[in-house]
Amino acid sequence: MTQSNKELLASVFGLVRGIRKQFDARASAMDMTYARAQALTHIAANEGLTQVELAAILDIRTPTMNRTLDHLEAAKLIERRTTREDKRVRQLFLTPQAHRQADRIVSFTHELREEAYRGIPPEEVEQALATLRRIQANLDAMEG
């Protein structure tokens, strides 16, 4: 194993921490956390999805998802609606004010990406992405 192999995963973890720190700094001005902002933007893109579906998309356990949604609902940013087919299933919808907030989050997320990729040619980003996908495929194969 080369030194680069040893450093790559540590660098990825550091990158994730750095992105989250920048994201949280921008989101806190809107009383948002990373988890709440992610939930809000996914609901905006897929209104009507269920709580269970959102938890799966975000890879979050249901109790944690429920706390995040409780906060968004208390802030009057989302509505939970039962379905006609199964009253236990609740679909998620944005409130009118939440659409504006979701647009702001999408905007600063786009700006954050632009800043993070500044000075990096697109082909280098593509190569890095291809490498990360291969590493992910290897990890997925370990699960059987």
Q: What is the pLDDT of residues 81-91, one digit of tens each?
A: 988 888 888 99
Residue in 61, 31, 85, 41 with CA at minimum distance from that of residue 51: 61
Which domains are assigned to the chain?
9-118 (1.10.10.10)
The three-class DSSP label of residue 86 is: coil
Residue in 139, 106, 137 with CA at minimum distance from that of residue 38: 106
| Average pLDDT of the chain, as a whole number | 90
pTM above threshold 0.85:
no
Spatial CB neighbours of 77, under 8 Å, sequence gap ≥ 6? 40, 94, 95, 97, 98, 101
